Amino acid sequence: AQSVTQLGSHVSVSEGALVLLRCNYSSSVPPYLFWYVQYPNQGLQLLLKYTTGATLVKGINGFEAEFKKSETSFHLTKPSAHMSDAAEYFCAVSRMDSSYKLIFGSGTRLLVRP
């Protein structure tokens, strides 16, 4: 069965510092992977996705993630945090069957200190 683990329910960084949000998955077949961001009282917005091809994926708002099959990881990074990055971030993996469902991690709340 597929699953997603996000390490750290809360991550705090200073403005301008590197952002690193961790995501590990388990899957018996090559997965499709996604990162979403959720601002308070809003829906989830797709940041980036990995399906096939290049393992370093660039997304919106300066975020990127690298698919590392050997480590079963898909960590999200941004070189320099901005106050507007404060939000909750969800990693997800696509069920590789006909159910078309996504399996979401439990989320990581990013706090950005001035």
Partner 1 sequence: SQTIHQWPATLVQPVGSPLSLECTVEGTSNPNLYWYRQAAGRGLQLLFYSVGIGQISSEVPQNLSASRPQDRQFILSSKKLLLSDSGFYLCAWSVHGGLEAQHFGDGTRLSIL
Residues that bind partner 1 (CB under 8 A): 32, 34, 36, 41-46, 49, 51, 90, 94-96, 99-102, 104-107
Nearer to partner 1, 22 or 49 (CB): 49
Q: What length does the chain have?
A: 114
Q: Could you give the C-alpha distances from 44 to 17, 23, 30, 91, in angstroms and in order?
A: 24, 17, 24, 11
Check: CB of residue 107 under 8 Å from CB of residue 10: no
Residue 13 or residue 93: which is nearer to partner 1 going by CB?
93
In the complex, the smallest distance separating the C-beta of residue 13 from partner 1, rounded to whole angstroms, is: 21
Q: What is the largest CA-CA distance in the chain?
A: 46
Q: Minimal distance in Å, beta carbon 73 to partner 1? A: 19
28 or 41, CB closer to partner 1?
Answer: 41
